[in-house]
Amino acid sequence: MLPSALGISVDGTDLGIDVELVSKEEQQVRKTYATRGKHDVAEAHYSHVSFTLRHRPTTRVWHLHFRLFPDGLSFRYSLPAINATYEPRHVIQETSQFSFPFTADDAAWFFERDKLSHYELLSYAGVFRTAPASSLSSRPRSRGPLYGAPLIFHDVSAGAGPFPYRLLTEAALYEYPGMRYIALPDNNTFRADLADETVALSLPLPTPWRVILLARTLDELINSDVITSLNPAPDPDLFPSYLSYAKPGRSVWRWWRYDTGTPEEEKQYIDGAAGLGFEYTTIDDGWADWPDKWATMKAVCDYGREKGVGVMLWEDCAKVEDTADDYADLRLFLDNVKATGAVGVKFDFFNNETVSRVRLQTKMLVESAKRDLFINFHGIQKPTGETRRFPNELTREAVWGMEINKMSDDYPPIESSHNAALPFTRFVLGAADYTPLALAKEWRGPTTVVHQIALLVLFDSPLTTIAEDPSFILDPTQPHAAALDVIKAIPTIWQHTRVLPPSKIGELAVMARKAHRGDMWFLAAINGKSETQTIDEIPVHFLDSERAYEMVMIYTTETEGGEGGQVKREEGRWDPGQQRALKNVRLLGGDGLVVMWRPLGGDQLT
């Protein structure tokens, strides 16, 4: 990085100008904690350095904290109260800047949307694209040089420094507006921009952490624990033990194919979930119009319980955002949800990261935890590691996902290049409810069936909402029937994750992941290009070299005439000492590959 300005304006005074050092404290921290997603144990290893500073013109004292990780750095401001009392103050804007010595070899990855562009930073949903990093201030776009997190910079030169991948974001967003980035005209610098132009906040106040991730490889980038490590540990009063009520799993979802149905139609989806061995169903917008909605929903939840399927209910956040009487509307709604026997709530349409909406999200997590309910947030800003403090948040949207393919009148279907960028961009920040698995040709856009199946392995979401109709998934006459046992076996959380060469953002994503059950491994690859790619070699050194495995490979063969493809299944035995790579892997444009290894003598698939 280049020298970059730091500071925060309070009541119109920039406390970063004309300061003196009062004191400095340092602390070394090394600890581990349980996590869910790419791996099951996270490591927090950092040097914490705190500077106490005095603003000379006002004599005001404030603190600047740094945490230096092996794979990144972060800083935050801390403003103490005057006279040790809580006082409202107006935080006008941060003056934090991030300057980089960009060259022609630095590429930036960012998300944006061409239509309804005002939603870009309301719901953090847009197509991931790339451009020269030095061009972000001058690119023609409706939002000008304002970008949302994450921003990823990749030095593609052969002589790149020790960290060719750098990512900007924030962590621990509580009681504060979300941060975006303005690309400045010098073509090297980004300035913090808060979602609230002016906001009244009480002191003392710690800001969220401003984060710069550093990675030598894509594998290091996606396995970083920096963002969650900057969040507080769970409150033991809210989360006294393992969350038996917030279990990871897969959910069917009628809304995507047909909109929300009648109670009987939603019960059919529960039957489908049970037939697939899926754990949940999500009943979306429209259920509140059912006659005697709460009693009817209780009957549906009772039916789901008999089938071993939990029910999740949708709600518009605007219906419960009134702060009167400590969010009485929210608490009453959650009491009613709990009384039906539902297991969680999908809150939607936040469409802002102002401090009022951030407070609402925190309150929802707290009140849901009191009632043993989990949450899926939609229409919301990017994650900042909240899942560590609130493990009852199983996922959130903030992604250009499969809903777009339902909105064909407004947007073109999702391109494979976007999917091939997501594991190394949006998913670095945390889980995303992309709602994968569109198998019918008219719904999946320019991707193959195997590409869609591969997304179940590549994308992180402890609660994975499945787009496709369960009856269609179970249809033995469909091309994907050859992969049904694999689809049913793919978990939603992992013990280990490895990015494999020759992965490249937006062009090719190859990943191996170890399931918690036995020693099962899954490998998935997707082609982000519209033309065929042939991969000379994909290493499989992650397999235990002393074990024998049963292997199932799902791939696509080109049909006669070169149009489309057929789903193929290949089974075999993978013996100790066998070649440690897959050779000459051919992926059609927008295609994918899924391989499952199960140790001989291990768990049987169902």
Provide DSSP, 12-45: TEETTSSEEEEEEEEEEEEEEEE--SS-SEEEEE
Residues 63 and 170 in one domain: yes
φ, ψ at 399 (rounded to 5°): -155, 150
Looking at the structure, do residues 446 and 586 belong to the same domain, yes or no? Answer: yes
Residue 1 lies in a domain: no
**Could you give the number of structural domains in the chain?**
3
**What is the domain range of residue 271?**
235-398
Are 240 and 220 contained in the same domain? no
Span 558-567, mean pLDDT?
65
Q: How far apart are CA 398 and CA 402, in angstroms?
A: 12
CA dist., res. 450 & res. 7, Å (int): 49
> What digits encode the pLDDT tens for the residues 140-158?
998 899 999 999 999 999 8
Give the CA count within 13 Å in the CB-facing half-sphere of 386.
Answer: 25
Indicate if 169 and 257 belong to the same structural domain.
Answer: no
Query: What was the pLDDT predicted at 605?
Result: 45
pLDDT reported for residue 85: 61
pLDDT tens per residue across span 448-495: 999 999 999 999 999 999 999 999 999 999 999 999 999 999 999 999
3-state helix vs strand vs coil in the chain, percent to 5: 25, 35, 40
Mean pLDDT of the chain: 94
pLDDT in tens, 90-99: 776 788 999 9
| pLDDT value of position 81 | 81
For 537-557, how does the pLDDT look when each residue is reduced to its tens digit (9 = 90+)?
A: 999 999 998 899 999 999 999
Residue 606 has pLDDT above 60, yes or no: no
Give the model's pLDDT for residue 201.
Answer: 86
Residue 453 corresponds to which tokens in the numbers above?
A: 């199946």
* Domain end (from 178, 211, 229): 229
SS3 234: coil
Q: Are residues 243 and 225 in the same domain?
A: no
Share of the chain above pLDDT 90, in %: 87
Cis peptide before 150 (omega within 30 of 0): yes
Give the C-alpha separation, 100 to 87, whole Å.
Answer: 37
DSSP strand E in 457-588: where? 463-465, 496-499, 508-514, 521-527, 533-539, 549-558, 565-574, 581-587
545 in a domain, yes or no? yes
pLDDT band at 76 (very low <50, low <70, confident <90, very high): very high
pLDDT on residue 448:
96
pLDDT recorded at residue 564: 58
Pair of tokens at residue 448: 């193959």
pLDDT for position 534: 97
Inform me whether the pLDDT recorded for 560 exceeds 60.
Answer: no
Domain co-membership, 19 together with 161: yes
Residue 244 confidence (pLDDT): 86
Specify the pLDDT at position 216: 97
Q: C-alpha distances in angstroms, 555 versus 83, 406, 443, 448, 606?
A: 67, 26, 20, 10, 21
- Residue-wise pLDDT tens digits, 96-118: 999 999 999 999 999 999 988 88
Q: Closest by alpha carbon to 330, among 317, 342, 343, 312?
A: 317
Judged against a pLDDT cut of 90, whether residue 165 lies above it is answered with yes
Residues 59 and 167 in one domain: yes
Q: Is the residue at 420 inside a domain?
A: no
Residues 242 and 158 reside in one and the same domain: no
Instruction: Give the model's pLDDT for residue 142.
Output: 86
For residue 419, pLDDT over 90 is answered with: yes
Instruction: For residues 596 and 590, give the distance between their C-alpha atoms in angstroms, rounded to a whole number.
Output: 21
**267 and 192 together in one domain:** no
Does residue 504 sit in the same domain as residue 436?
A: yes
Q: What is the CATH number of the domain that holds 95?
A: 2.70.98.10
pLDDT mean over 213-234: 98
Per-residue pLDDT reduced to its tens digit, 245-300: 999 999 999 999 999 999 999 999 999 999 999 999 999 999 999 999 999 999 99
Which CATH number fits the domain that encloses residue 575?
A: 3.20.20.70
Residue 209 lies in a domain: yes
Model pLDDT for residues 504-540, shown as the tens digit of each residue: 999 999 999 999 988 899 999 999 999 999 999 999 9
Which helix or strand (DSSP H or E) is residue 506 part of? Answer: none
Do 68 and 161 lie in one domain? The reply is yes
Residues 6+ apart with CB under 8 A from 39: 223, 494, 495, 496, 497
Say if residue 604's pLDDT is above 60.
no
Higher pLDDT, 87 or 121: 121
In a shared domain, residues 167 and 216: yes
Q: Give the separation between CA 35 and CA 33, rounded to whole angstroms.
A: 6
Percentage of the residues of the chain whose pLDDT score is greater than 70: 97
Q: Answer whether residue 408 is part of any domain.
A: no
pLDDT band at 82 (very low <50, low <70, confident <90, very high): confident
| pLDDT higher than threshold 80 for residue 87 | no
Query: How confident is the model at residue 384, as a pLDDT?
Result: 98
